[in-house]
Amino acid sequence: MNDAPTRPKGRRRGRLRLLVGSVLSVVLVVVAMAMPGSASADTTVNSNSTGTNNGFYYSFWSQSSGQASMTMGAAGQYSTTFNNVDNFVAGKGWANGGRKAVNYSGTFNTSGNAYLSLYGWTANPLVEYYIVDNWGSYRPTGTFKGTVTSDGGTYDIYETQRVNQPSVEGTKTFNQYWSVRQSKRTGGTITTGNHFDAWAKYGMNLGSFNYYMILATEGYQSSGSSNITVSDSGTTTGGTTTTGGTTNGGTTTTGGTTNGGTTTTGGTTTGGTGAGCTATYTPNTWNNGFTADVTVKATGNITSWKVGWTFAGDQKVTGSWNANVTQSGQSVTATNVGYNGTLAAGGSTSFGVQGTYSGTNATPALTCTAT
């Protein structure tokens, strides 16, 4: 199945990437809401653009023939209509992806080939990823890796590759990671970390979350509509069951070490209080690999933070998200990125690491300092 198509012949998926770094024409049609006593207004977009609307990042892209538009309402609400489009993608979400519990609700209708998915990119490595909850006449496929059970459903995991295609970093060759729900739905929670951990177990490693993540409506040579409201209930971990493509993943246990097909969720360590913050480390371990979620909580108003720890074994960090992470020997240092350094007293943010190890993967003690 290495050459299995990800979509019907001729389909192009490089659309959103062309928005980055380009000067694009934007047509914004402000539609006043006809509600007595209300001064609020929706914003309708019908040409390629990205930006922020009512606190949420948005992206709209349409190619060639047909008509498409997105109307954006309060907070994470948006609606789309598309008629005989060649290719169209639009949605709301976040300027940077990451481990979130994404809640959404609404409607999704199509007379042909279309998707409703959580969609984004990572850097180093460059990866395009999808968590698909609903689709029309075509269900995405590729090289089957296994399954992951999350948020009340089971998703098939696929990997595909795009060669010399447009991306958020220009024309490049990159991998696509897919989780495709076995039964369709429109609405619920998508716990992204569950999918990221399952992908990592099959060697599908993500990079840094430098790019957007949106709850996207997409149409290809089709017509349809959607009305979606998306929100974020915070950073979460755990709660997955993964099954390999040829063998079952085995038992999920808590504590202890990992061998065979056993997935181990390690203990949680809260670091000692530094100047203005604490840090909590929660690992998820499998054979020779692990991820860890680190939650930083401010004990006062802070503008930056730094978390450190020392591994007891030969753990090597191979990837990270939502932080600048460096390793020297067994010592690891993580500092905030531009968008998550400022926290009010009692506020928190999270970042994560992915790595490899041999032997045991003991949970380290953490330090946290802030300014």
Dihedral sign from CA coordinates of 139, 61, 204, 270:
negative
Q: Is 218 in the active site?
A: yes
Residue 8: both structure tokens together: 């019907």
Contact between 278 and 271 under an 8 Å Cβ cutoff? The reply is yes
For residue 52 the two structure tokens come to 């922020």
Catalytic pick from 16, 45, 46, 128?
128
Q: From CA 42, how far away is CA 120, in angstroms rounded?
A: 25
Residue in this structure with the two tokens 């928190």, named with its chain if needed: 348
End-to-end CA distance of the chain: 52
Q: Could you tell me which residues come within 8 angstroms of residue 34 by beta carbon, excluding any fewer than 6 positions away?
A: none
Classify the C-alpha dihedral 238-289-121-343 as positive or negative. positive
Among residues 42, 133, 197, 218, the one annotated as catalytic is 218
Q: What amino acid positions are annotated as catalytic residues?
A: 128, 218
